[in-house]
Chain A
């Protein structure tokens, strides 16, 4: 079963508008972390935002916020006031379990959403 599902292969948004990128996940762990990364056409993966399963408040980082609905197992990324530079591929990822004593756990990624910001 797919653990991270991103159902929107492509999205368009007008500049200055807000956009929501969907992400649902599947895990039986009580402890997990959810990440969003941005990959522009240049190819590098840029960390955007993190939400821990125990965090009671939705994470926010500047124009990025994470709409975390634990019961629905969704972790949607909201980008406010879209800019042309936001055009990129966006990946949702999950780390299951607590951080091991020896270090972190592997990330499981979704297939990504290609966002295009238009004038």
Chain B
């Protein structure tokens, strides 16, 4: 079974440009999450999709960030316009969702991340 994949693995852009990150979750996983690790800091939650709906977007830093998950499959995270402080590693994760009851682990499986550098 294929794991979570992310594209691109690296992206270097200039301040003010636009970048779109893509995440393909594990097949059959309804939940999709975006996280970010800025240099030297802890990994922080950005948002959570259940199928195509945004369940929680409390971690999105500002309106320069736009996430979509059309059709409930892959997701994109667009940063427009990019700023220097957006540099970091963006992780995507997916989990199965409802199966197993409310006390199940619903483990989140992570992709390899996209390293974004804004110059």
Contact = CB atoms under 8 A, between A and B. Distances in A.
Contact of B104 (A43, A47, A99): A99
Contact of B31 (A47, A104, A109): A104
B107 interface: yes
Interface residues of B, number: 36
A35 B106 CA distance: 11
B97 A103 contact: yes
A104 B103 contact: no
B30 interface: yes
A50 B103 contact: no
B109 interface: yes
Given A44-B111, A45-B113, A112-B42, A106 B33 contact: yes
B13 interface: no
B110 A37 contact: yes
Interface of B: 30-31, 33, 35, 41-45, 48, 50, 53, 55-56, 58-59, 89, 91, 93, 95, 97-98, 101-113, 115
